[in-house]
Chains A and B, each alone.
Chain A
Amino acid sequence: MKKLRLDPLSLAGLACLLLLVLLALGSLVDAAGDPDAIVGPRLRPPGPGWWLGTDNLGRSVLPRVMEGVGTTLLLSSAAVLVTAALSAGFGVLAGYRGGYLNELIMRVVEVLYSFPAIVLAVLVAAVAGPGQLAALASIVLVTIPLMTRLVRAAAVAVAGRDYVTAAVISGARLPRVLGRHVLPNVAGTIAVQGTYALSVGISVEGGLSFLGFGVQPPQASLGVLIRQGGTYMMAAPWLIIGPGAVLVLAILSINVFGDGLRDRFEPRETRSLV
């Protein structure tokens, strides 16, 4: 197997992402203190004892941001795993089998695709009730159309290759053809789209929780923190700057990393036959 080489920029993105994961893990052991403990006066600017200031209840913002980034990352990653599994299944099947199955899957995907992300998310929250489950389901529904389409397109290309035909001629049955030949060769697409889906997931969670349909306080997520911070934006801007900066950093680093992955996978995927 070729080594997975990335350019410096996307390595920086990966490093930044790992740092955020480390922050989130830190909140599990209360590395910066208990996120729910009241540590000082209300709405204090950053200072010793509360490095990112205190909020409207006198809680330190730093541990809350750490908990929040953990909630957001966990929720988004779980959703992206669900999306990846479903997209891989549907996309590969639609791309390889074609015919009615393809039409059915792609029409459903197109209907989903036609909804603006936040409208879809609010709709889910209205049906399922606000909460983490609604946020997760929303992220899945928002990210699944694009990923399924791209996996399908990749599978169509792979399905026409000679090694797939050779396997069919040898008598290989569908699970073997899909599992050993098609899926491994669209895995790059799934990985690349997975990173983009993760950044979309983070922003959907942010938006949904900001509107009050996603994660519910007192549990912290980046969206919840930004919503709370927004209320006191003029009096205590550090309340929104901390979680806002982390949100931007998370999305940016994931996209940069995703670009690196894409550059690594796509040139080889699209290299022409002659």
Chain B
Amino acid sequence: MILELDDVTVSFTTGPPLRRRRLDAVRGVSLAVAEGETLGVVGESGSGKTTTSRVALGLRRPTSGTVLFDGRPFPRRRRDLAGRIQAVLQHPHWSLNPRMRVGQSVAEPLAVLGRPAGSLVAEALEQVGLGAGFAERYPHELSGGQRQRVSIARALITRPSFVVLDEAVSALDVSVQAQILNLLKDLQAEFRFSALFISHDLGAVRYVADRIAVMRDGEIVETAAAAAFHTAPEHPYSRQLLESL
């Protein structure tokens, strides 16, 4: 298992002092991602998807429960994981630093590791279907789909073993979504990374995931292999989601 969440709960406290309430963003979530596998997490907004992704990335420590990455808890220093775990995040508009050229953005994970970029940036841009010429451009010259391609190139340049895709295609047009999803499948076949694909869109999740976890109100209500999920969803909420497609 590349990633294991066991009985993870994340709580926030809200409200004024003396009347503080505890709010569980996710409650008792257990999930696992095997090597080379894509686990899809689907759920409506507020269901705890984004909190789950932040826990999976080691950006937030759970209030209780354990998280293991590659069989070990997340190290205290993020740097010890540098290059092995990457993410493609939600907003194409803000996924790239507007003050940096595309090439610099793509090369950054290498720069952090102190590795020379060499021809890798050009290769990475070719791999995501953009020409090497894009390296000199600034993000505001790119469309949303192109920016997400750049984000993918940036995420994969260190050949990570695990990638979190948090609503990575949700802000794109449907036709562009399909292109990006196909690209992700191709790249995954080539580089064999594991992925956690988080989306509110069951259609997109169904397209890329090997297994699907359904979240609702901070809990996972059902986890099933993708094929089984489509033919016989167990939980009524899953059925509801499928029917609405």
Query: Taking beta carbons and an 8 Å cutoff, which residues of A are in contact with B?
Result: 1-2, 161-163, 165-173, 176, 180-181, 184-185, 273-274
Q: Looking at B99, B155, B171, which has the most chain A CB atoms within 10 Å of its CB? A: B99
A residues in contact with B95, CB < 8 Å: 162-163, 166
| 16 A/B residue pairs, CB under 8 Å, sorted by A | A1-B138, A162-B91, A162-B94, A163-B96, A163-B97, A166-B89, A169-B78, A169-B86, A170-B82, A171-B83, A172-B108, A176-B112, A180-B97, A180-B108, A185-B97, A274-B171
Complex: A176 Cα to B96 Cα, angstroms: 15
Q: Which of A1, A171, A274 contacts B113 (CB 8 A)?
A: A171
Q: How far is the CB of B168 from chain A (nearest CB, A)?
A: 10
A residues in contact with B239, CB < 8 Å: none
Name B95-110 residues within 8 Å CB distance of A.
95-100, 105, 108-109
Complex: A1 Cα to B82 Cα, angstroms: 30
A residues in contact with B97, CB < 8 Å: 163, 180-181, 184-185
Q: How many residues of B contact A (CB 8 A)?
A: 33
Query: Taking beta carbons and an 8 Å cutoff, which residues of B are in contact with A?
Result: 57, 59, 78-79, 81-83, 85-87, 89-91, 93-100, 105, 108-109, 112-113, 138, 140, 151, 154-155, 158, 171
- Given A170-B86, A171-B79, A185-B99, 6 more A-B residue pairs with CB atoms under 8 Å apart are A162-B94, A169-B87, A170-B108, A180-B97, A273-B91, A273-B93
Q: How far is the CB of A264 from chain B (nearest CB, A)?
A: 14
Q: Which residue on A lies nearest to B113, using beta carbons?
A: A171
Q: Which of A161, A162, A170, A273 contacts B112 (CB 8 A)?
A: A170
Q: How far is the CB of B74 from chain A (nearest CB, A)?
A: 12
Complex: A245 Cα to B63 Cα, angstroms: 64
Q: How far is the CB of B98 from chain A (nearest CB, A)?
A: 7
Flag if B57 contacts A173 (CB, 8 Å): no
Q: Which residue on A lies nearest to B82, using beta carbons?
A: A171
Q: Which of B78, B105, B113, B140 contacts A168 (CB 8 A)?
A: B78
Complex: A161 Cα to B155 Cα, angstroms: 16
B residues in contact with A171, CB < 8 Å: 78-79, 81-83, 109, 112-113
- Listed from nearest, the 8 A-B pairs whose CB atoms lie closest are A171-B82, A162-B89, A170-B109, A184-B99, A161-B94, A163-B97, A162-B95, A171-B79
